[in-house]
Structures are given as C-alpha cells and as structure tokens.
Amino acid sequence: MFVRGTSIHQKWSPQLYESNARFVGDLATGAVELLNPRPGERIIDIGCGDGYLTEKIASTGALMTGVDYSPELVAVARARGLDVRVGNAEEMDFFQDFDGAFSNAAMHWMPRADAVVKNVEKALKPGGRFVGEFAGARNAYHIRQAVHEALTRRGFDAAEIDPWYLPKVEEYRAVLEEGGFVVSHIELFDRPVVIDYPVRDWIRTFGSPYLTVLEEEARDPLLDEVTRQLAPRLLRNDGRWTIDYTRLRFRAEKA
C-alpha cells in the first residue's frame, strides 16, 4: 500500500526542471511582492529547488537560506553560490533564526502541512512573516482526473498514489492559525499556463509518482491514453497545451 506523499516521492531532474519548469519561478512575482524582502533580512526559502528564485530574492539584499529535499537540485543551487541545504521542511529544526519565510510552488509536495507550519513558526523571530504560494484545490484538475482514471483501469488506487496536498482556503487558513500565525492575506485563484511542450512531458516533469508505479514499458501507453483524453479540453488550436493551474497564495505573521 502506498502512503500518500511518503512512499512515492517526486523525482527531479535538473535538466527537465530547467527546460520544463522555469516558468514556475517566473510566475512568482506576486508572491515575492507580498514577501517584500528588504536588505539585511534573513529569509528562508522552503522548497527552493535549483535556487533560481532564491537568487532573485537575494538580489534585493536579503540574506537567503534555502532548504530542499532534492540533492540534485540543491547541487545546482549551491553552484549559484547560495546557502542551500538538503532537508525536509516537515522535519527542519531552526529556532528564531529568520525574519521571514518564503515558499513558492513547493508546499503541495508536503502532505504534513501542520508540521511544516509549526517548523516555520519556530524558525521565525517574533513578528516574522510567512509568505507562500502553492497549488490549491482543483489544481491541474483535468490532468489529475485523466491520470487517475487511467491508473484505476490498470488496477491501482490512484488516490493513494496522488502526490499532492491541495487545500481549500479555509482549510489552510486553519492550519496557519493552529500553527501560531495571524493570517493577513489568503486567496485561491486560477492560473492557466500555456506550455510549449507536450502534456505528456508535463506529467513526466511534475507527476513522476504517477509513473513510477508502472513498469517502464507501461508508461508510454498510459501517457498516450491520457493525452488523447485531454486533447479536446486542453490542446489549443496552435498545438500548445494549457495546464489548468490553481494557486493558493498567503501571508501570515507569527503571533
């Protein structure tokens, strides 16, 4: 039996991340503005990936520390000259070290949301702020539905395999408040993104847990099946695909 979010981990390839996921950092402007980093502040970037966005925030003069569970992506971030550690936000152990905490497109990979929030609260100085943006309820709904149906037809429990934590606004507000924060901003919004590569490559990049349960030779047939199902809804006339992203963005202050 697969335990959601723990037995099957997303596998990150630095090469695929660079070619297929760069837009994730480029679309984070609103979250960075909500963070409002200032020179000399110490800020932790949770789930920093290859450090692309961490480096951008550091250019404001903020002193950045990054944490990510992928050793491959951490190696790329360190090559940028950043202070980045391999670690899991559900288990990190800082104490009042930071003025701010930031996370972009990462916390939907962390099913123990209460543990993440409690660890962030502990890591912040009194009055510190926590700003984040990640996938919320109904994110990539049509893609997930098609993949779930294909896996179910093959005898798998797709809900157990699904790697993402996708809360609604009030659900996540409660997690923040129970973790010791006062929420000053929280919203859930649609963000459709047009990609320049096939939807099967999006699934390979962002949804590897769906595929790792299959033998190698069974993966392409599933992706073919899912692609055919999604084409009427997500394939544009110009041959590009639209990913039906939904994002949850928030700012909260340590109580």
**Assigned CATH class of 14-140+164-197+243-254:** alpha beta
Alpha carbons 36 and 23: distance in angstroms, whole number: 21
Q: Sheet with 42-46: list strands edge to edge.
A: 83-86, 63-68, 42-46, 98-104, 124-135, 241-254, 181-195
Each residue's pLDDT tens digit, 154-166: 999 999 999 899 9
Q: Which residues contact 224 (CB under 8 A, 6 or more apart)?
A: 200
User: Can you tell me the mean pLDDT for 80-91?
Assistant: 94
Q: Mind listing the pLDDT tens digit for each residue in 12-67?
A: 555 655 555 455 656 678 999 999 999 999 999 999 999 999 999 999 999 999 99
Give the pLDDT band (50/70/90) at residue 208: confident
Average per-residue pLDDT for the chain: 91
Q: What is the per-residue pLDDT across 146-201, written as a single tens digit (0 to 9) for each?
A: 999 999 999 999 999 998 999 999 999 999 999 999 999 999 999 999 998 999 99
